């Protein structure tokens, strides 16, 4: 009960900005319910008085009055439908905004553990169900509740004994509905989870459609999708089974009401305890009692969908946000002296990724991280802007623990260029300006020139206003990378992180981008993650990271002299390069001969 009250309080909060519409909607609903009581009341007067006493003028007056009132009810119903849905849509939009704002504040770990399609399902399907409940819920409860009470009172006025017999059957109806309601609620939650899995599978398949076509694995994707699709069918089948039992049993009880009225009323009429006019009116009026009960019964499905969706909405809203420590302050302009002091880190579901790592990066120096995949290189990069927080130890910049700074002010001082560049749908200009939304036209052009992308942009018919497609699909890998570098130039950070920024590029494009990166690194503290060791020979210091620890540390020449892991990695790459060049030379000789 306490949890239901808690849910209700959270739900009511979204009604507050729309109090005027809500109360107007309820007033209209009340009038609709009152008007609905007019027909049986007028029917009783006609059968008992007007028709037997041949008061034709009153028959016509009451008939036309009822017609006029029904016209009013038509406009009231329009008001309820239109403004009620407007209120629901506005509440849905507010919840969507709240959820989006919340998602923007959640830590990386949340997205590590939750699928994009699942989140999208909560943002769309669940919120739609909630908005429908927000609109129809109060109306249905209010109209049906009032009509039930009013019809019961009116039935009692006609014949209180018959009304009592009808009312005695109501507990049986509530017993049956409560029995099946729990199963229905569980089934609805499972079906929503299954629907979220379908969305997640669909999002993954559509995002990877080019890879699917390249590898001609359409059949495989269809098989994967069918697995989640059939799980959805199974979950919905269970929900419909529970729903069918619920509605069939409850409708059976309400049908029994009619039988009871027919038999009991017939006996009362036979014994002279009720006259024919009142008996006829009672039969008409009992449907006024049964109809709102059926309305409430039918409302249960919408109620279950809405409450289930709202619980899933609150699951996101109650997630723990990125940690802000007490006394966090605005990060000043940094010099960029980075220190890792006995830093260890592990994810929730894994063993230690970093183990007691310590190193220093002085202002303006370039440090390269090399080593096998999974060794902890990218994790080090993610810890500096606090995408994740250290498990133990501390990271300082210019002697201050980074936890003392607000997240936004810290991250504004750090620029990141990754191998997998993410570009937003929109124009080239929009994506470069993402680095600094307040940048001038001159700064935009200067950033594009420094990133060696300006000439290409100007060769396009629409220049900076060129649409790049979803995730920059209309651009090559090198063009995407240069756009990402241009927006870092606009951001103008004190610290630069290059996470395998050129590893996926061909040699010519890599050289072009490397020149842009060299320009970008000037005067900034730079941490580079690289697999191609030839690109980091000029680094001030190179660290070999493996199994979460620093295995070797020094300049290129120093590490070569140590004759350790770095030298082995370097010689392997050098040997592969020689083998490749020899193969090319042999191929050219064969062609010339």
Residue 350's pLDDT is 67
Average pLDDT on 123-136 reads 84
Number of H helices, E strands in the chain: 21, 10
Distance CA 309, CA 317 (A): 12
Category of 253 on φ-ψ map: left (φ > 0), alpha (ψ -120 to 50) or beta: alpha
Pull the structure tokens for residue 552: 């070797």
- Between the alpha carbon of residue 503 and those of residues 457, 474, 481, 513, the distances in Å are 24, 21, 11, 11
Pull the structure tokens for residue 206: 């559509």
Share of the chain above pLDDT 90, in %: 9
CA 235 to chain centre: 21
Distance CA 412, CA 494 (A): 9
- Domain ranges (residues) in the chain: 13-314, 332-413+534-593
Residue 592's pLDDT is 36
Residue 578's pLDDT is 45
Residue 586's pLDDT is 42
Residue 585's pLDDT is 39
| Cβ neighbour number for residue 116 with a 10 Å cutoff | 13
pLDDT tens-digit series, residues 333-377: 889 899 999 999 987 766 778 999 999 999 999 999 988 888 888
Which element (helix H / strand E) includes 542?
strand 541-546
Which element (helix H / strand E) includes 393?
strand 392-397
Distance CA 541, CA 557 (A): 10
Residue 580's pLDDT is 42
Could you tell me what percentage of the chain is helix, strand and coil, using 3-state DSSP and rounding each to the nearest 5? Answer: 70, 10, 20
- Domain 332-413+534-593 matching CATH 3.40.50.300: the answer reads yes
- Name the CA dihedral angle for 529, 532, 537, 540, rounded to a multiple of 10 degrees: 0
Is the predicted pLDDT of residue 395 greater than 50, yes or no?
yes
pLDDT tens-digit series, residues 228-271: 778 878 877 777 787 777 777 776 777 777 777 778 777 877 78
- Between the alpha carbon of residue 398 and those of residues 337, 361, 494, the distances in Å are 5, 10, 11
- Between the alpha carbon of residue 90 and those of residues 29, 184, 255, 580, the distances in Å are 20, 28, 39, 63
HSE-CB at 451 with a 13 A cutoff on CA atoms is 27
Pull the structure tokens for residue 161: 């004994």
Distance CA 10, CA 8 (A): 5
pLDDT tens-digit series, residues 469-493: 777 777 877 788 888 888 888 888 8
Average pLDDT on 410-424 reads 84
pLDDT tens-digit series, residues 277-324: 777 777 777 777 777 777 777 677 778 888 888 888 888 888 888 877
HSE-CB at 568 with a 13 A cutoff on CA atoms is 6
State residue 195 phi and psi, 5-degree precision. -65, -40
> What's the residue count for the chain?
593
| Cβ neighbour number for residue 213 with a 10 Å cutoff | 11
Distance CA 423, CA 431 (A): 7
Spelled out in words, what is the top-level CATH class assigned to the domain 13-314?
Answer: mainly alpha
């Amino acid at each position: 009960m306490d949890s239901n009250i808690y849910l209700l309080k959270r739900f009511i909060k979204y009604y507050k900005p729309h109090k005027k519409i809500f109360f107007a909607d309820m007033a209209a609903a009340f009038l609709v319910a009152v008007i609905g009581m007019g027909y049986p009341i007028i029917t009783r007067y006609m059968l008992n008085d007007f028709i037997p006493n041949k008061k034709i003028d009153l028959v016509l007056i009451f008939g036309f009055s009822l017609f006029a009132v029904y016209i009013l009810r038509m406009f009231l119903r329009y008001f309820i439908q239109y403004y009620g849905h407007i209120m629901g849509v506005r509440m849905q939009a507010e919840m969507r905004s709240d959820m989006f704002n919340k998602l923007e504040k959640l830590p990386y770990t949340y997205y590590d553990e939750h699928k994009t399609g699942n989140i999208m399902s909560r943002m769309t399907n669940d919120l739609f169900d909630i908005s429908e409940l927000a609109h129809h819920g109060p109306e249905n409860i209010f109209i049906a509740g009032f009509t039930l009470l009013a019809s019961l009172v009116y039935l009692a006025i006609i014949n209180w004994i018959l009304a009592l017999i009808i009312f005695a059957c109501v507990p049986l109806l509530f017993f049956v509905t409560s029995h099946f309601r729990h199963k229905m609620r569980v089934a609805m939650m499972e079906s929503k989870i299954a629907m979220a899995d379908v969305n997640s599978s669909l999002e993954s398949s559509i995002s990877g459609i080019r890879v699917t076509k390249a590898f001609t694995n359409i059949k495989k994707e269809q098989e994967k999708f069918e697995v989640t699709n059939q799980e959805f069918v199974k979950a919905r089948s269970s929900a419909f089974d529970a729903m069918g039992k619920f509605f069939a049993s409850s409708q059976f009880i309400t049908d029994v009401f009619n039988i009871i009225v027919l038999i009991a009323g017939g006996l009362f009429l036979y014994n002279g305890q009720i006259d024919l006019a009142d008996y006829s009116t009672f039969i008409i009026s009992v449907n006024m009692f049964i109809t709102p009960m059926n309305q409430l019964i039918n409302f249960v499905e919408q109620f279950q969908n809405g409450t289930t969706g709202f619980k899933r909405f609150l699951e996101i809203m109650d997630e723990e946000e990125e940690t802000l420590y007490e006394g966090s302050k605005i990060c000043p302009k940094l010099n960029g002296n980075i220190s890792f002091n006995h830093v260890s880190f592990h994810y929730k579901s894994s063993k230690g990724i970093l183990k007691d790592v310590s190193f220093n990066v002085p202002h303006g120096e370039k440090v390269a991280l090399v080593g096998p995949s999974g060794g902890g290189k990218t994790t080090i990069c993610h810890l500096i802007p606090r995408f994740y927080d250290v498990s133990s130890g501390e990271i300082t910049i210019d002697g201050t623990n980074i936890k003392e700074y607000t997240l936004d002010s810290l991250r504004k001082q750090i620029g990141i260029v990754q191998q997998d560049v993410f570009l937003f749908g929109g124009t080239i200009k929009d994506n470069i300006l993402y680095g600094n939304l307040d940048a001038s036209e001159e700064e935009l052009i200067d950033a594009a020139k420094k990133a060696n992308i300006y000439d290409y942009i100007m060769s396009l018919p629409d220049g900076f206003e060129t649409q790049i497609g979803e995730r920059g699909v209309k651009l090559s890998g090198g063009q995407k990378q240069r756009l990402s570098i241009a927006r870092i130039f606009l951001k103008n950070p004190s610290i630069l992180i290059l996470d395998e920024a050129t590893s996926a590029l061909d040699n010519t494009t890599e050289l072009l981008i490397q020149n842009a990166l060299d320009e970008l690194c000037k005067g900034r503290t730079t941490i580079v993650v690289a697999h191609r060791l030839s690109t980091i020979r000029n680094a001030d210091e190179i660290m070999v990271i493996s199994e979460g620890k620093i295995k070797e540390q020094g300049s290129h020449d120093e590490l070569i002299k140590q004759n350790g892991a770095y030298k082995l990695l370097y010689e392997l790459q050098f040997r592969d390069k020689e083998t490749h060049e020899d193969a090319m030379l042999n191929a050219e000789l064969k062609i010339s001969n």
